[in-house]
Structures are given as C-alpha cells and as structure tokens.
Chains A and B, each alone.
Chain A
Amino acid sequence: MKIGVFICHCGSNIGGTVDAAKVAEAARAFPDVVFTSDTMYACSEPGQDGIIQAIKDNQLDGVVVSSCTPRMHEPTFRRTVERAGLNRFMFEMANIREHVSWIGKDKEANTNKAIELTGIAVEKLRRDQPLFAKQFDINKRVLVIGGGVAGIQAALDCADGDREVILVERESTIGGKMAKLDKTFPTVDCSSCILGPKMVDVAQHPKIQLYAMSEVEEVGGYVGNFEVKIKRKAPYVNWELCTGCGLCMEKCPSKKSLDHFNEQVGTTTAINIPFPQAIPKKAVIDPEFCLKFTKGKCGICAKVCPTNAIVYDQQEEIVTESVGAIVAATGYDLFDISKYGEYGGGRLPDVITGLQYERLLSASGPTGGHVKRPSDGKEPKTIVFVQCVGSRDKSVDRPYCSGFCCMYTAKQAILTKDHIPDSTSYVFYMDIRAPGKMYDEFTRRAMEEYGTQYVRGRVSMIYPKGDKLLVRGADTLMGTQVEVEADLVVLAAGAEAAVGAPQLAEKLRISYDKYGFFMESHPKLRPVETNTAGVYLAGACQGPKDIPASVAQGSAAAAKVLALFAKDKLENDPMISFVDIKRCVGCGKCIQVCPFGAIKEVDFRGEPKAEVIETVCQGCGLCTATCPQGAIQLSHFTDNQILAEVNALCQL
C-alpha cells in the first residue's frame, strides 16, 4: 500500500501553533507512507489539485489529510480522491485544528500531538477497504404531518411538483393556529382571507389526500420507503355522507361543549363544525358533551341529518400508507398561563391569552368581532397587554424567546384602537424584538400613531379590585412602581412544543431538544433537514416561528422533498454494519439495541442469525459495541481498525 499524507496550515489557524512542515517530515517515517507535503489550504482548488497530482505521480492507494474537522471537509476530500481515481473510502482525516491548534498554544507539544493524530490516521488507513454504495428504489409519495400553514404550504408545493401528498391533521380541520387569527402582522390583512384559499386548494388538489382527525401511529422503513400507520379517529359522523349543511348544529340541545376553535371563549354545540371555512367542512361529535353518549338519550342530530350521516357507534381505524419522504409540521402550543399564579390566568375570567383575545377580535369569533370581556360582556376601555408570559423566563423553564409575541401584541394593540376608539392600551414589555421586514416600523406605529402606552418592565401581580383588574408592575425606564386599573388583561403567552411532539419525534426517529422542539441537522446550513434521511421539518415544530418563516420553511421542506424525488434511485451510505455469520450466535442483543430497527433475525440453515438491513442501518455502531461475539462489525470502523489506532497511539 502506498500512502500520501498532506498537512494543512489552514492559514494561521493551524500553522500558527503547529509546525506543519515538521509534522509532514515526521509522517514520512510512518509505515507505507511514500509521499508527504504541507500545504497552505488543502481544501482550496490548488490544494485539492495538489492532492490529485500527488496520487497520480506516486500511484498512491490512500490519502491522509491532517487539517480541520471532518464534519465540514471530509466529503470534500473524499470527492477529491475519487476524482483521482481512488475509492472514496480510501481516505482518512486527522483533525489537527479543533483538536490541536485551537486548544493549545505550546507549539512543540502541539506539533507532537499533530504527529500522533496523523500517525493514527495512517494506521487506520492501512486497514481501510474500498466500500461501495448500494442503490435502491424510492416511493415518490410524501407524508406531511400537520395541517397548519407550514404543512399546507409544504403539501401544496409538493403536489404542484406533481407528487402525491398525504396530509395528516389531528384536528377536524386544517388551518392550524393561523386560522384562529383575526389579522396578521405587519400588514393587518385578514388571516382567514389569505389562508382560506390555500385551504380550499388543499381540499381540491387532485394530488393531495387529506386525513383530518388523524394521527400518525407508527413509522417504519427508511428514506424512500417509509411505511406509515395512520390512526383515523372517529368523528361519529360518516364524512362521505356529511355535506356540512350545519342542520345538526342548529338543533343540538347540548350547547355547553368546549369550543376548542374559539380557544374556549364561549361554548359550542356537542356536534359541531369548528368554523365556517373549515376544511374539510364536516361535523364532529364531542362525546364528552353529547347527550347520546353521556345519557344515552337525544339522538336529535341523527333525526335531522338529511343524509343520514350520523354514526354513533363509529370506530377508529388504522390505515397504512407507503411514502418516500416525511415532512413534520406539527406546530406549537401556547404556554399555560395558569403557571403564573400572580397573574391569575385561569382564575380570573378577564385575564386571557393573546389567542383568546384574537378570537374576541375576529368577526367569526364568539362575539362577532365585538370586544367583550368574558366576565360580564362589557366593552373594555383600558386594556393591559403583558408580554413574555412564558418566554425568556428561567423560573418557568422557558428561557427562550418565543419571537412572535412582541409583534402580535403590537397588532392587537392597534386592532383594539380600531375596535374601541376611546380605549387605552398598555403594553408591559422587556424589550421589543421586531427584526422582520417592516416589523419595527409596525411596532412604532402602534406607539406613535395608535397611542399605545409601552411600559418597559414586568408585571408583578394582577388582582381584582371591584369590577376592575389592578395590574401592578414596574416602569424600569422611569424607575418607579406603576399600577394600572384595567378592564381586561391580555397575556402574550409564549410558544412551547406541541403536545405529543417528543412522542412523534421518537416515532420518526428524529431528535428533539429539552423543550420538545424538533432538531434540525445543522442550525445554519441544514435548517429543514433532520438527522434521519428523508424526514424534513417545517414551521414552529422546530422552534417558535411567525407566518412568513413557517411558510418559507414549508416551501423549503417541499423543495428538499422534490429534490430527493428527482432521483429514481438512492444510494445508501456504505459505512454500515455487517454480520460475520460464522461468529454470530443469534443472541439477538444487536436487534434490541438498534435504535433504527435495522437488524432482523433470519433463519440460516436452521439457526437464528442477525442480518443487517443495509438501507436502514445508519452506521451508529451500537450493535458492534454490544455484540458479545464481535460478530457484527461496522465497515470502516472495524474492531481491528480501532485497535490499530490505539496501538499506534501507544507506540508513538
């Protein structure tokens, strides 16, 4: 074997504290090394050309580059050696920047460590084998989980790209949080007027199949070939027959059902269609409030339904769909305001969330767009908005900024003045975060044109005084305590991960952070991809996002899906496990530890053996560490290679 070693200066990044020339010289002494050099930027075009030239001139069989993190440049150099005619896996990288030059200043010690790391890489390379990827077919249908604006956008873009889309939504209608909003910032245009047509497009698109009131139950398979089990919950109405006429709602005698769409400001009937523009526009029975379910009597809806669509004994069913890619767009939930005991949310009827206020402002809301406070239906004249309720507060375990609350509070303050011209709005804020296009101008308009009183400081407590609410807080610009007697208090509740998000992440085998938000592959350069191939993210399931960002991500995820589907076959990563069938005793421990379900038991001449499903294996190595026989090995990271590295380190 002939090996070439290239030591990179990375400008002064490595060269500043490592004697690269000396490392190159020392590397000449390593076994099988026939060529070494040091170079200013190995990853640059001349740097790569130099490597190719050296491979050709010296008929090298493998290459070691000692430079920066393989995370960034390993794929680059693999392509380089491939261009020179080598197998891309006959390449090793030593990280002498992050692991050496950036963490120590002693040049001599650094140089020695760089030599050691280079030596380890050479020893590993000596045992490397060429690896070849396998190809497999892909199913070009996509599953979108979540029918909010991000999911709708992703579904429409994929469908417009001529791909079949399965859209799964757990509520009885799509539209998500955006459908509940009255207006959007900073344009103050009607939310349902811009979302409504998109929702209709989803319903009418021949390529989109919508499963409302459904949840993803189980996900199997791998990129290109996922098998998804979807649980279709029972609405107790045959949706094939239901025309959405609404007669059942008119006649239903149980009118105290929780109105989820209106954020529980007001009540609705036990059988209901959540809102007039619902997609699909179908009725659903809430069995907790339906008299037929609770008392066994009534049955009026079944009597009045012109199409006989009511089915009281409907059962949930499971459907299985095969898809090639999955977009998770499950959105967010609002922080539970009752966790702030001092604000009285949940105890005092006139302390409400921003989303509840949004329903009070909306013409399709429970008050027909007239702002009436929940306790006595009076029109409030003094309204206090409290920002950062459940954001940027470590004491409630929500240290992150929810991002959109500053803006929606400004919007609500503006709308309040439009609805009630003689009203006064106060906004208690920590600081204003309005970085989007036209955002800062918008908050300024709330202050300057609409006379909203912005008070910088937190509210310490809210309590009833007569029929008013006394809001006590600090004005940290004035350096004084302030008290405002309010008629209504609106808490700008922060965002948190949707209920069940971690459970879904586990089904999808993607990571999530400690708050339940899904993790992207790379926070900057791969924002809509996950570490599981074929699973993409869109919208607030990845972190709090406003509408423009959610839509942009929906489109970005769709673009990723379409790019994936542009290929007819996919290649797997060949750095995966393989089983030495002679050593395998069929104990099944590897099957138990594999987080991807990539190992199955097979019968080999009457004995159980493990077999790796090559397209599913992610090359994590858990099985190789577990196998008591050493029968399962990870290609490119075999026990022999790792022991050789350790040996090299002990000898140097």
Chain B
Amino acid sequence: MTKYAYYPGCSGQGTSQEYDSSTRAVCRALGVNLVDIPDWSCCGSTPAHTVDHLLSSALAARNLALAEDLDAAAVITPCPSCLTNLKVAVHRMGDREFRLQVNKLLDKPVDRTTPVKSVLQVLAEDVGPAAVAEMLPNKPLAGLKLAPYYGCIMNRPPEVMQFDDHENPTAMDKLMAALGAEVLPFPLKVECCGASFGIPRKDIVAKLSGKLLEAAADLGAHAVVTACPLCQMNLDLRQGQASAAMGRKFQLPVFYYTQLIGLALGVPQSELGLSKLCVNPRLALDAMHAAQAEKREREAKNEAGKQQAPQAKAA
C-alpha cells in the first residue's frame, strides 16, 4: 500500500478536529495509508510569509525534512493553507541559493524533494472517483444538493499548486457526484470567503461569506461542502453574521468533504464529528433522506404500475 507522510496542521488539533478525524477515517477506509510526520511543527501559517520568506520557508521545510525519513510517496495535508506553505517552500527551494539558505537554518537539511499534495488531490487522483463509486454502488448521498466550495488557495497560484483547474476546479465535484450527490454548478467555488480577516475586519468576512452563502442558497443547495478549515469556519461559525450582513437568514450546513465521504462509507459518528458543526447538519441530511424516500416511493409506484399493466392486458 502506498504510504503518505501526513501533515495534520494546527487547525486539525483545534478548530477543525472533525476535519482531521474524518480525514483519517476516510483515508483508512479507502486504503490510503497515512503516517504522521514525527515531531511536526507549525508550517508558519498565515503570518510567517508576510514577515520573512526565508523563515517562513524554513518552518515548512523543517517538516519536509522530517518527512524524508518516512520514505513516503508524498507529503499530504488536509489544510489548503498548510499546503500552500509547504508547496511554496518546495517551489522556492527550486532555486539553489535559496535552498542553501534554508538548509542553513535547519538542524536536518532538506535532501530531496518529496512531492506535496492535498489529501483532496490524493483522493481525486490516486484513489479516484471511479473507485469510490465502485465501493458504494447504491449512491448513499443521492438526493443531497451540494454547493462545492474550494476556496481561493487550494488551486492557486496554478504554477505552484499544479492541481485541477485554478478557475473552475472539479475534483471535489467529481468525488461528491461519485457518491450520488447532486453537485450544483456553484459559480463562486474559488471566490474568497474573507479568510483571516474575521479577526481585524469582521464586516469584510461577513459580506464576502454572505455572498457565497447567498449564491449557494439561490441555487437551492441543501449544504455547502468545503475542503478548507478557515473557509468552513467563516461559512459555518459566522453564518449568523453573514446572514445579518446580507439581510436574510441562511441555514446552510457546511460540511467537510471528508465528513460526507465518511458518512457515505458508514464511518462512526464519533470520528466524523458532525456534532461539531455550528449549523445543524440534520437540515441537509433530512432533506436528503426525504428525497431518497420520495424516490423510493415513486419507483415502487412505477413498479406496481408495471406489474398491474400485464394483468389488465390479460383481463
């Protein structure tokens, strides 16, 4: 089994524990072998690169150097922000001079370049929606209308991220569709949610996230599905603020895509952490179950009609 060096990231330990635990559960179920990078440290997150590119890259590179001992196919992380920092560090270290400077700051220099990927990329490319669909032929998410939201940094800048279309990504769409969900043509899938402006300028985040929720609601989505802890927090935790900013009441559950895959795979609730979501996910799941029930009823009726028809003919 291919081994991946797993970089959980700090938010997975705090604000998005449910993302981390559902990711681990889903990977286990789909046969993606995760090995935690021992003694991993913060990638520098949002602030570091605004202060010093060298130090910021060194923070990320420390983790890459540690990962080398695991001899994994790739370093993978669920968080797009961690992904950016790791990938940018790799990208910058393509320059020999820069690499030497970074290595000078590290106890253990970066020797070779292990590819860095998001967990989403691994699930979309290495596992693939076709394999997922094959595992779950009865389409467990049928009837669930989803607005897939990727956020602004999962695929951008394209020359660094090298994954999917940077303006119209479809990796998550395809995974969700493979599970039977109805993926809506969500136009704002790479628009900014306001990111970490939630702390200094709440008004900006409320408005930007509000726009996203509005577009999803207008499309008739039952829920939004994300791949980013910060996006999830802005859309979910701040949904009240967003509602106030837009002057209408949103009630859209915001899932991590791993939670939905986990749900489809029958991963225990304790690992999915659905209870940690602020907007009650029950809303979306009820709508889904209702749609499924309606479909079953319709089919049963059709079936009954078909059975009756020959009898009528015979009579």
* A contacts, CB < 8 Å to B: 340-342, 344, 347, 461, 463-465, 470
**Separation in Å of the B291 CB from the closest CB of chain A?**
23
Contact A464 B185 (CB under 8 A): yes
Contact A341 B166 (CB under 8 A): yes
Contact A461 B166 (CB under 8 A): no
Residue of A nearest to B170 (CB): A341
Contact B167 A341 (CB under 8 A): yes
**Separation in Å of the B163 CB from the closest CB of chain A?**
13
Once the chains are docked, how many angstroms separate the CA of A461 from the CA of B187?
9
Contact A463 B167 (CB under 8 A): no
Q: Which of A340, A341, A347, A461 has the most CB of B within 10 A?
A: A341
5 A–B contacts from the bound complex (CB under 8 Å): A341-B165, A341-B167, A461-B167, A461-B187, A463-B187
- Contact check: which of B167, B187, B188, B218 meets A340 at CB < 8 Å? B167
Contact A342 B185 (CB under 8 A): no
Q: Which residues of B contact A470 (CB under 8 A)?
A: 187
The total number of A-B Cβ pairs within 8 Å is 19
Q: Which residues of A contact B302 (CB under 8 A)?
A: none
**Separation in Å of the B196 CB from the closest CB of chain A?**
22
Once the chains are docked, how many angstroms separate the CA of A463 from the CA of B168?
11
Give me 6 other A-B pairs in contact (C-beta within 8 A), A341-B168, A461-B187 excluded. A340-B167, A341-B165, A461-B167, A463-B187, A463-B188, A465-B218
Once the chains are docked, how many angstroms separate the CA of A347 from the CA of B218?
20
Q: Which of B130-169 contact A (CB under 8 A)?
A: 165-168
Residue of B nearest to A340 (CB): B167
Q: Which residues of B contact A464 (CB under 8 A)?
A: 185, 187
Q: Which residues of B contact A341 (CB under 8 A)?
A: 165-168
- The 3 A-B pairs with the shortest beta carbon distances in the complex, nearest first, are A463-B187, A341-B167, A341-B168
Q: Which residues of A contact B166 (CB under 8 A)?
A: 341
Q: Which residues of B contact A340 (CB under 8 A)?
A: 167
Once the chains are docked, how many angstroms separate the CA of A638 from the CA of B187?
68
Once the chains are docked, how many angstroms separate the CA of A344 from the CA of B165?
12
Residue of A nearest to B165 (CB): A341
Contact B187 A347 (CB under 8 A): no
**Separation in Å of the A458 CB from the closest CB of chain B?**
13
Once the chains are docked, how many angstroms separate the CA of A342 from the CA of B191?
11
Q: Which residues of A contact B218 (CB under 8 A)?
A: 465
Once the chains are docked, how many angstroms separate the CA of A520 from the CA of B177?
51
Once the chains are docked, how many angstroms separate the CA of A464 from the CA of B167?
15
**Separation in Å of the A338 CB from the closest CB of chain B?**
9
Q: Which residues of B contact A465 (CB under 8 A)?
A: 187, 218
Once the chains are docked, how many angstroms separate the CA of A299 from the CA of B170?
43
Contact B167 A342 (CB under 8 A): yes
Once the chains are docked, how many angstroms separate the CA of A132 from the CA of B142?
84
Q: Which residues of A contact B168 (CB under 8 A)?
A: 341-342, 344, 347
Once the chains are docked, how many angstroms separate the CA of A470 from the CA of B219?
14
Once the chains are docked, how many angstroms separate the CA of A344 from the CA of B186?
12
Once the chains are docked, how many angstroms separate the CA of A338 from the CA of B168?
10
**Separation in Å of the B273 CB from the closest CB of chain A?**
32
**Separation in Å of the A473 CB from the closest CB of chain B?**
14
Q: Which of B52-67 contact A (CB under 8 A)?
A: none
**Separation in Å of the A43 CB from the closest CB of chain B?**
49
Q: Which residues of A contact B165 (CB under 8 A)?
A: 341
**Separation in Å of the A637 CB from the closest CB of chain B?**
41
Q: Which residues of A contact B187 (CB under 8 A)?
A: 461, 463-465, 470
Once the chains are docked, how many angstroms separate the CA of A341 from the CA of B166?
8
Q: Mark B180-192, 1 if CB is under 8 A from A, else 0.
A: 0000010110000
Q: Which residues of B contact A347 (CB under 8 A)?
A: 168, 185
Once the chains are docked, how many angstroms separate the CA of A347 from the CA of B170?
13
Once the chains are docked, how many angstroms separate the CA of A344 from the CA of B187?
9
Once the chains are docked, how many angstroms separate the CA of A501 from the CA of B66?
50
Once the chains are docked, how many angstroms separate the CA of A470 from the CA of B187?
10
Once the chains are docked, how many angstroms separate the CA of A470 from the CA of B188?
11
Q: Which of B178-212 contact A (CB under 8 A)?
A: 185, 187-188
Once the chains are docked, how many angstroms separate the CA of A341 from the CA of B168?
5
**Separation in Å of the A568 CB from the closest CB of chain B?**
59
Residue of B nearest to A464 (CB): B187
**Separation in Å of the B167 CB from the closest CB of chain A?**
3
Once the chains are docked, how many angstroms separate the CA of A463 from the CA of B166?
15
Once the chains are docked, how many angstroms separate the CA of A340 from the CA of B167?
7
Once the chains are docked, how many angstroms separate the CA of A465 from the CA of B167?
18
**Separation in Å of the B204 CB from the closest CB of chain A?**
14
Q: Which of B219-244 contact A (CB under 8 A)?
A: none
Residue of B nearest to A342 (CB): B167
**Separation in Å of the A222 CB from the closest CB of chain B?**
45
**Separation in Å of the B213 CB from the closest CB of chain A?**
15
**Separation in Å of the A450 CB from the closest CB of chain B?**
31
Q: Which residues of B contact A344 (CB under 8 A)?
A: 168
Residue of A nearest to B219 (CB): A464
Q: Which residues of A contact B185 (CB under 8 A)?
A: 347, 464
**Separation in Å of the B256 CB from the closest CB of chain A?**
24
Residue of A nearest to B190 (CB): A342
Q: Which of B165, B167, B187, B188 has the most CB of A within 10 A?
A: B187
Once the chains are docked, how many angstroms separate the CA of A342 from the CA of B185?
13
Residue of B nearest to A463 (CB): B187
Residue of A nearest to B166 (CB): A341
Residue of B nearest to A470 (CB): B187
Once the chains are docked, how many angstroms separate the CA of A207 from the CA of B187?
57
Once the chains are docked, how many angstroms separate the CA of A461 from the CA of B192?
13
Q: Which residues of A contact B167 (CB under 8 A)?
A: 340-342, 461
Q: Which residues of A contact B188 (CB under 8 A)?
A: 463
**Separation in Å of the B147 CB from the closest CB of chain A?**
12
Once the chains are docked, how many angstroms separate the CA of A347 from the CA of B165?
13
**Separation in Å of the A474 CB from the closest CB of chain B?**
15
**Separation in Å of the A389 CB from the closest CB of chain B?**
13
Once the chains are docked, how many angstroms separate the CA of A107 from the CA of B218?
77
**Separation in Å of the A512 CB from the closest CB of chain B?**
26
Once the chains are docked, how many angstroms separate the CA of A340 from the CA of B165?
9
Once the chains are docked, how many angstroms separate the CA of A347 from the CA of B185?
10
Once the chains are docked, how many angstroms separate the CA of A461 from the CA of B215?
14
Q: Which of B83-100 contact A (CB under 8 A)?
A: none
Once the chains are docked, how many angstroms separate the CA of A463 from the CA of B187?
5
Once the chains are docked, how many angstroms separate the CA of A464 from the CA of B166?
19
Once the chains are docked, how many angstroms separate the CA of A340 from the CA of B166?
10
Once the chains are docked, how many angstroms separate the CA of A590 from the CA of B265?
66
Once the chains are docked, how many angstroms separate the CA of A464 from the CA of B218?
11
Once the chains are docked, how many angstroms separate the CA of A465 from the CA of B188?
11
Q: Which residues of B contact A461 (CB under 8 A)?
A: 167, 187
Once the chains are docked, how many angstroms separate the CA of A463 from the CA of B219?
12
Residue of A nearest to B159 (CB): A395
**Separation in Å of the B27 CB from the closest CB of chain A?**
28
Once the chains are docked, how many angstroms separate the CA of A461 from the CA of B167?
9
Once the chains are docked, how many angstroms separate the CA of A344 from the CA of B170?
13
**Separation in Å of the A21 CB from the closest CB of chain B?**
50
Q: Mark B250-287, 1 if CB is under 8 A from A, else 0.
A: 00000000000000000000000000000000000000
**Separation in Å of the A36 CB from the closest CB of chain B?**
53
